[in-house]
Amino acid sequence: MLYPIDTESRVVMNLNGVWKFMIDREVEAVNPAEPLPAEEVMAVPASFNDQTVTKEIREHSGYTWYEREFKVATPLMKKRVVLRFGSATHEAWVYVNGREVTHHKGGFTPFEVEIGEFLEQGTNRLTVRLSNLLDYTTLPVGNYSEHSDEEGNLVRKVDENFDFFNYAGLHRPVHLYTTPKDYIKDISIAPEVDLDKRRADVKVDVKTAGDFDEVLVTIIDEEGNEAGRSSGNTVSVAIDDVALWQPLDAYLYTAKVEGIKGGETTDVYDEQFGVRKVEVAGGRFLINGEPFYFKGFGKHEDTYVNGRGLNEAYNVLDINLMKKMGANSFRTSHYPYSDEMMRLCDREGIVVIDETPAVGLFGSFSFDLSILENGADSKDGTWEVMNTSDAHEQVIRELIDRDKNHPSVVMWSISNEAATYANGAHEYFEPLFNLARELDPQKRPLTNVYIMMATPESDQCSDLLDVIALNRYYGWYLDTGDLKTAEAKTRKELLAWQEKYPDKPIMYTEYGADTVAGFHSPYGEPFSEEYQEDYYRMNSKVFDEIDNFVGEQLWNFADFQTKFGINRVQGNKKGVFTREREPKMAARYLSERWNSIPDFGYKK
């Protein structure tokens, strides 16, 4: 899916701003053919939860409504007019002037629809019905229940099967954009690089709608010079003396695609891309032929007031904080991040592990660590109750369709902390891995991010992975406060994974300890800033001993909001930054470590 941009043939209109808003109490039917009977307003893009001072709205499970008016300039009414949502969490029904125009389920990927036939001259009304309900058919997974109150009204409840707050709303920009009636529908770019000759053959596949005499593809470098061109819907354009996209040293080319009819250019789209080679070989993760070492974070789209909504100022700050610390990467835990963040990472040279919203794929939200002692015979039951296969396939298709051209994306994560140790897991995941490999034109490596119970002995899916990605909390959830024992267990498990898969890279995608900013202890007690630093120092020591260990992405970049619970006080406190982005003590140690570790060649 192409991101909406202005070109010589396209106009983008922003529908962000303040919309009318109401929760649906499901007492009286809401008729989208009539103006929304709402007294509240909400800013878009943002979660609705933290913009309110009303407990009923903040904790609402069920349906909500958004509405605004807009106008389309008369000359543009003759064009193809498209309505695009960057995301709508988690399910949306969209109405223009009271008529339903589209429906989309899945809260973290974009969707769009042509609306020309529904438009009227002058003022138009856009209405959106949203659901934040989650169950065992959705991604993420939620524990859904319902009951009737004293007055007989239906009360819905979602208990998250994951450890972050179920923020909802119109989280990303809403746009109208126009194209000609004959238009460029999609562009796929897959560079093939000869590193020795510094030459690339850029394969460009263009999908069009309508009638063109010619499709012209011109590659333009960052200085605005033409680097090559070719004609056709499927072409290969050679670039000599190619400039490579490198981590923290980004170079972006532009594929200028023109649809030509009758000697005139009808439609134009400019797609930026980078030329780089990603592969896994000999227990190494190679970028442009050199062994890359991941340094960075798991993080969240999570800020005050905006909740999970797009906040580009925070995105810029977060990237700057990462770079100052010597970090070079992050994972989009636990869902696809905004188009805008992905484009920023392309520009800034940040390496991204791109993850689906498949989180909560285990039968109950409890971490039964007894499997670490009981071995591999797990009758967990997850894959008997989960009915998420269709949703999982959908998000893989939508994620790769959206992010396939981003040079920052070097690996796809199919899920986070699923019950891969349970009977039936391999049968569930194998078709999904096959689908991702089939869909990705750049054939990136694949991983599944592993919960602690998925060990070398118990896991049933590791043969599917290109990279072993582990979430591990020795010294926190296990052997709390006992870093000596945690060190021994960390070393033992990593050596076991390396022995089992000597040709697969291993990395940590989560490790951390909850830390209350300002709490200090001369004894290094858990929750103190001293313990957090000691915890990271212990892990670093072991990481450096393991030959195939290729990266450390800690949990978490910053403190973030979670559901209520006695284990969480104002959210998850594992951040090395507070939610306000103030550093905790461990940030200084990590900065010294990461700035001393080269991006390439650390593990020979």
| Cβ pair 133, 142 in contact under 8 A | yes
**Element containing residue 284 per DSSP (H, E):** strand 284-287
Give CA angle at 134 (553, 163), nearest 5°.
Answer: 30
Residue among 454, 428, 410 nearest 278 (CA) = 410
| Cβ pair 471, 452 in contact under 8 A | yes
Q: Is 592 helix (H, G, I), strand (E, B) or coil?
A: helix
Q: Which of 355, 493, 510, 552 is catalytic?
A: 510
**Element containing residue 585 per DSSP (H, E):** none
Q: Which of 417, 529, 530, 552 is catalytic?
A: 417
Helices (H), 223-355: 312-324, 339-348
Give CA angle at 585 (581, 591), nearest 5°.
Answer: 80
Token pair in block for residue 287: 């970028």
Q: What's at 138, amino acid-wise? A: T
What contacts 534, CB < 8 A, 6 or more positions away? 483, 524
| Cβ pair 99, 118 in contact under 8 A | yes
Residue 326: C-alpha distances to residues 27, 304, 532, 598 (Å): 54, 26, 19, 9
| Cβ pair 302, 49 in contact under 8 A | no
What is the C-alpha separation between 141 and 553, in angstroms, rounded?
A: 24
34 is catalytic: no
- Region of residue 570 (phi > 0: left; psi between -120 and 50: alpha; otherwise: beta): left
Q: Is 174 helix (H, G, I), strand (E, B) or coil?
A: strand
552 is catalytic: no
- Region of residue 117 (phi > 0: left; psi between -120 and 50: alpha; otherwise: beta): alpha
| Cβ pair 412, 443 in contact under 8 A | no
**Element containing residue 431 per DSSP (H, E):** helix 425-439
Instruction: Put the strands of the sheet holding 253-261 in their side by side order.
Output: 226-231, 214-220, 253-261, 264-273
Sign of CA dihedral 509, 514, 520, 526: negative
Helices (H), 474-596: 483-500, 529-543, 586-596
What contacts 246, CB < 8 A, 6 or more positions away? 276, 287, 288, 349
Before 140, cis peptide (omega within 30)? yes
Locate the DSSP E strands across 328-484.
329-331, 351-355, 409-418, 446-450, 468-471
Before 539, cis peptide (omega within 30)? no
Active site residues: 417, 510
